[in-house]
Structure 1
Amino acid sequence: MVTGSLRREEGGLRRLLASMAELFVRGVPVDWSGVLPADAAKSARIDLPTYAFDHQHYWLHTAQTATDATSLGQAAVDHPFLGAMVHLPHSDGLLFTSRLSLKSHPWLGDHLVGGVVVLPGTGLAELAVRAGDEAGCGILDELVTEAPLVVPEQGGVRVQVAVGGPGENGSRTVEIYSQREDASGDGETWTRHATGTLSDPASNRGPEFDFAAWPPLGAEPVEAGDFYTGLAEQGYEYGPAFQGVRALWRRGEELFADVALPEEQRKDAVKFGIHPALLDAALHAHTLSGATADGDTVRRPLDWNGLVLHAVGASALRVRLLLDGSDVLSLEAADEAGGLVVSADSLVMRALSAEQLAGSGDSAVADSLFRVDWTELPWTQGAAPAPSWAPVASAEDVAALAGSAEAPAVAVLQAVGGDGEDAVLALTSQVLEVVQVWLSASALERSRLVVHTRGAVPAGDGVVSDPAGAAVWGLVRAAQAENPDRIVLLDTDPAAPVSGDGAVPVLGAVLAAGEPQIAVRGTVLSVPRLARATAQVPDAAPVFGPEGTVLITGGTGSLGALAARHLVSRYGVRHLVLASRRGPDAEGARELVAELTELGAEVSVAACDVSDRDQAQALLASVSDEHPLRGVVHTAGVLDAGVIGALTPERLARVFGPKVDAVRHLDELTRGLELDAFLVYSSVSAVFMGAGSGSYAAANAFLDGLMATRRAAGLPGLSLAWGLWEQTSGMAANTDDLTRSRMSRRGGLKIMTLAEGMELFDAALGSEQSLLVPARLDLRAVRAEAAAGGGVPHLLRGLVRAGRQQAQTGSARDGELMRRLAGLPAADQEKALVDLVRIQAASVLGHAGPDGVRPDTAFKDTGFDSLTSVELRNRLREATGLKLPATLVFDYPNPQTLARHLHTELFPDGGAAAPDVDEARLRRALASLPLARFRAAGLMDALVKLVALGDGEPAIGALDDADDETAIADLNVDDLVQLALGDN
């Protein structure tokens, strides 16, 4: 009888006891007294750690640095919304900085617009007035709101209030800005929310209205019991903190209200000039004027004129509003004793649209939708003569170059797609074979391969005439990520003439530019750079609607099902065809159909291999003429992870089927149809971060190129190169934690939730681009990796400025490692190399230090795969200057073995190593020799130079004047020091 003690997702005590019980009931004797002692009920059972304690401490030690505002040269501001202030000496202005979040100000969560938390307009007014107080300008003459300030559900938002210097009449400008706390920094702009003018207050005036007689004579009471229920029906979303209206009256064009803060907010009232929730509640009575929410908009107090705060700290108000039309009113409010608290000459109630909210704050669109720009380089930057070069067309050509007496500096591979069903696969396979041999040839380590395509990228006019060449770009981009500085991608104008030998006239300029990817159009050199994309134009017509049919390939998969639900619930699509290889038999297909049907959609699920042209044609023919095909969303795909050296044409073909072949068939078969949308799911790996997924990057790059071809032909076409999805099923679920960590460090990729993905989907639909990159990027992580010596990926250099790197102890470039090792005994050399390997391995794996990489533990047991092995090889090659194969980690399977190999390569004859000698014995031997012996042996000059390595200059005269027969042993310590340093 055999049973296991571990199962997937079951490895604890419960599983072990269950297995023992299975044995017991089948007759196997079990000593239960040892497993469950008699006093088990009285004793506590605790779980042991799954590995031995390694005595690492993780206490958080606070750095001993002063971080309060005063110590940082700022002035503290006693205000809940404003943290610190700094004077601007050049303009006599002021700058206030702060941070808002739902954690620090939870009551803000009760002010929602369209389901989004927005700082009320009264909060913007409070910021401006309080800043004006510090500048001696307490009247807010004008404040115009330009954009809502959205407070994110998670994290916070940085806020700055800038007060300008005094003008001729003493007035000052005021501007309020914000930036998402998780903004990447470089390239991330601040949003200006409001701008206005402050002036010096005149003498305080009394109220124009007598608030002592309350309620006002002749005012008719208005039922306030269900006041906020009515507002909710109109589209206003006020939580308890903002439900301050206690009583309402009306008299002609005048509205009166009693408002008060809830008990929970009263304690904070004294900290504000006037609490924003209280002032906001004071304006709620304006809804009695008959102005209600209009469509998807609600009216809020957004523009202020003549706002004056007469008293501070109020927690309850008597309010008088005087209407001037439906959207303009004036305000006076007093305390319960009738003393004036706040007044405004006029304020305008304006609408906030859903589009304004979508682009203003807690939206993935704000910082997660990118396009690829082709940025022009100055021609002078690349002016240089062409180096020696040789054409290659096959793996055999590369092998011949590697075996030649002198390898050329550059080899050029022409990669232009042909015609036919398999043209894309044939070209990509050819390039793959050449690249593989090139990267494995140690004789070509110092040479560069230029892969030359024509019309493969949308530089210049945005046209891609060779989508097969685009696939080559995806493949080679992955090879570049795995093998830096070995390959250059060059794309030229397909209309430009080509000489018979395939020479590239601009080759010298291209190589001198120092860019791994470059396009030439005429005399213009341009390079790809990621840039933030403009969100959807508010007036753009909806792409999807209820009339036609939408085909979703991969429709029963995780991403396809997500798209289907979104199209039905968000856009009202009522006719769907979901195609997948298994069709109705796919896991979860029936449940998905039931869900979509309940939402009002008519759904057809088809078993179809779209990579087969006949099946694709039959699928399209099955669409009803009553609801013709209006949109295609292609989400199907197969992920195949593997470094460039491990790929084969067969592996390429497996990935190309559901991507290249399927989309090519759909493109050709729908050209005669009136489509509103042709949208394909691509991957960020096709643009950058393709290391370890060359075949997948190539297939998706073809999609990117084909969509550019469609756009140029006037057809709909959009490729979405998605970043990392948060998924537990489908292709994204195959991305392990190590890969995610690497992609985060090098490319700044963060996990994207399904909701964020669909928000980006919506924003992308209105774009005129053929390629967009929806991805959450942590550009701070990229900058940190660059500072540590990792460099900034070229594609991200438009978003991240490469800062100064950390000072290094030495590198292969200056021979510091060799100099350090040369002075050590052989055993210490090996130990130093073991430490080097462990440190670099830990960095690749994302560990905090080398302790997690033991010298004798196999790399594969610590989590290394083919991609991380290549990354470790690259790091060790940089550190040692050695030519190292991509199979290094597999040939030398643990740090100790690898370090011995590095030692052998660095010191092939063993002579460079310092001998293992007894230091005391050596000193005694040297001390016994007279100085004349050193001179006779010709060693005196060397000895003097050795002394010069000390802190002082050598005293040559002191040595010459010494008695030739005087032995070093005869000198005492003082004499030896004097001998070495002379008169210094």
Structure 2
Amino acid sequence: MADLAGIRPRSGTVAVWSTVTGAWIDTASMDGAYWASNLRETVRFEEAVRGLAAAGHGVFVEVSPHPVLTAAIQATLEDAGVPEPVVTGTLRRGQGGLARLHTSLAEVFVRGVPVAWAAAYRDSAVERVALPTYAFQRERFWLDTGENAPPVGTAADGAFWDLVEAGDRDALSAALGGGVPAESLDAVLPALTSWWDRRRSGATTDAWRHRIAWRPVGGTQAGRLTGSWLLVVPEESTGHESTDWASWFAQVLPADGLRVLPVGRTGADRDAVRTLVAGDREPIAGIVSLLPLAEGPVEARPSVPWGVAATVALVQSLDDAGVVAPLWSVTGGAVSIGADDTVRAPEQAQVWGFGGIVAAELPDVWGGLIDVPAEIPAEAPTERIIAVLTGTAGESEVAVRGSQVWGRRLVRAPRDAATAASVVGSWRPSGTVLVTGGTGALGGHVARWAAARGAEHVLLVSRSGEAAPGAAALAAEVA
């Protein structure tokens, strides 16, 4: 505080919500004692975001050389129920110029945030002009969708079910040719109406159903791997799988720029890996990591696979070191592409789950995931794997099986009639039900539903945990 004693803050013209006090403050109070508290006390960041949202603010701009808080702000606003919040950064790593700032301004402008463009371009010759009043000349390249012939009887069926839904027994009797007296329909109309409602509801919810599928990656121009590549391997190999694939990737990656980085089992923490990465001063074009293939747990945490912990440390260290290069993590048998393909290493599936998070939060350091078989195929699809690594294949999650590379897809999964009939209203939860995001509005609804339907235990998990608003009341309600 002695070093900061000379600070003489003044009141500003822009309102400031402090993450130190958790409330609006006069900037004249931001003296040395304030900044000492800022360093020593808990940062009330989430509280500040929620407070600003409650005050009616829906636009949040992180002013920084690279966005690191936007994901946390977005998640907090969604949990707080803010409708369509606008969250963005200003600059990005490697894009620190005025063009990037103007792009960020444009991104919020198209989402309805007013921007003083005259001030943004004050020192340039850029000026605002009106668009021409005539239609732009254009040429359409989209293929027109062909019209499918309606099924036979659609019109008649539709008219019948419209009458059922309306409950008009006289009109329904007439539509049936008068062969069924109107009074007789009283007994069947409720059942017909109920069946029709269930069928329509099923058609709606079927559009929500998806599943994971695997599709062969077609022939793609492989491209050429250039620049300096980093091959990260476990220092003490516990099996031939990681050793064999390390040799294979060492032959595929460019020899003139390849550097091999061994990570020891006692040096897989964040600081140790950052030290290893920082030793490579040349720009890195890409990274292939075989750390997930290492077997066994972390010595101090028997329940945590070493390969998973080492992968987390590697991602963190790359971000710490400011490395902007795609990281490809290689697993062995973590996924199954079909009924005949067995998951050999379910513990490595954690790397796939972790990869989805990294892809969203640290896109600059994430390339994707490659699952490989235990043995290197006699005709390994080298060209297709190179196409994946160079990005020309447009794939980020693939599995190598035989001489083929398979890409992961999210496809629609409508139920067939037999399955739909067997599960409508029949599923009841049992045992323990885990609800992620369990303290939010949707999570709370699911938790109450599971408890009411007979779940013995309901486990609620969320970012805020017990500190989330209403968490204690919800836990007591479903207990």
- Which bracket does the TM-score occupy, shorter chain normalised? 0.3 to 0.5
Q: Normalization by structure 1: what TM-score?
A: 0.24
Q: TM-score, normalised by structure 2?
A: 0.45
Bigger RCO of structures 1 and 2 (CA < 8 A, at least 6 apart): 2
Greater radius of gyration (CA): 1
